[in-house]
Amino acid sequence: MTQNPNLEQQSAPLVQVKNLKKYFPINTGFMKTTQLKAVDDVSFSISRGETLGLVGESGCGKTTVGRTLLHLYTPTDGEVIFNGVKIKDKESLMNLRKKAQIVFQDPYSSLNPRMTVGDIIAEPLDVHKMYTSKAERQERINELLSTVGLSSEQATRYAHEFSGGQRQRIGIARALASNPDFIVCDESVSALDVSIQAQIINMFEDLQNQLGLTYLFIAHDLSVVKHISQRIAVMYLGRMVELAPANELYRHPQHPYTISLLSAVPIPDPEEARKAKRIVIEGDVPSPLHMPSGCPFRTRCPRATEKCAQERPEFREISPGHWTACHHV
């Protein structure tokens, strides 16, 4: 795979990821290490104002993609281009740090228990020196609290005094402090109750409309991703196996892994649910330390042939905007 899908059809994407790799050295014995390929040759782009959903089962590399994109992990290989500038030196990295933020999965461990809510939210303001006086700093804190549905009186309280949903709102306010263009939402609603999930997702959509934000929305709940995303990418064992507009992916999934994932989405209508056929994937996920040859999904795939064992399928465009990595589409 040598090219970045969708670059041809989108003018000036805000975020471009080209052949991104992130390998972790794992100690596998006396004086011996093996490379764990958490992200292996992933490419995509995100247009300004768009939400790209990234889905897959636990351990497939979704979170590592988001963190490597933001250079919280140093990429092993590949390029990240943000707003037309390749991230390669301290200056471009500082601009990325300011204009690209992350909302973490766990609202309990991602907030410092020793800091007040006001100081947590103001941390990006302090780092990037985005105020000229204490009064301006406090005014910005109050404005951010109001934006996420909290009151200015709560700025002097500590994180342990808040519920999970309120803590996630604090995390969102912190991410908004530096006026970012791009936010990675890393499983941002998975730790919350279903009713609170809906509130947070609606807030993300409202903020996108108000501020023109661009999202990479990482999740494992396909119904949530469909609701918020314009396009959806599916990952398996560190590689992207399908990428398409949300409605297209739901109506015409092409990769057998995507088809199986979609068959597991609960259907609210009991009659329709009884008619629906659940496609169960056989076998266990292979160890990322000992990847199968050829296609990583072949050991569990009903379509697998000898070609799948010998050749890694190319991530190719099979219809406008619809990309997949399968020999037997």
State whether the Cα torsion 156-106-259-272 is positive or negative.
negative
- Ordered by where they begin, the domains of the chain are 15-111+180-193+208-324 (3.40.50.300)
Residue 116's nearest CA partner among 165, 166, 168, 154 is: 154
Q: What is the DSSP string of 118-160?
A: HHHHHHHHHHTT--SSHHHHHHHHHHHHHHTT--GGGGGSBGG
Residues 35-64 have pLDDT tens digits of 899 999 999 999 999 999 999 888 889 999
Tell me the β-bridge partners of 52.
216, 231
Number of Cβ within 10 Å of residue 109's Cβ equals 11
Residues 115-137 have pLDDT tens digits of 999 999 999 999 999 999 999 99
pTM of the model: 0.89
Tell me the β-bridge partners of 233.
54, 243
Measure the CA–CA gap between 88 and 155, rounded to whole angstroms.
37
Residues 190-242 have pLDDT tens digits of 878 888 888 889 999 999 999 999 999 999 888 889 889 999 999 999 999 99
Residue 202's nearest CA partner among 231, 224, 219 is: 224
Average pLDDT score, the chain: 89
Residues 259-280 have pLDDT tens digits of 988 887 777 777 776 777 777 7
Q: Looking up tokens 């006396």, which residue turns up?
A: 30
Q: Looking up tokens 């056929």, which residue turns up?
A: 277
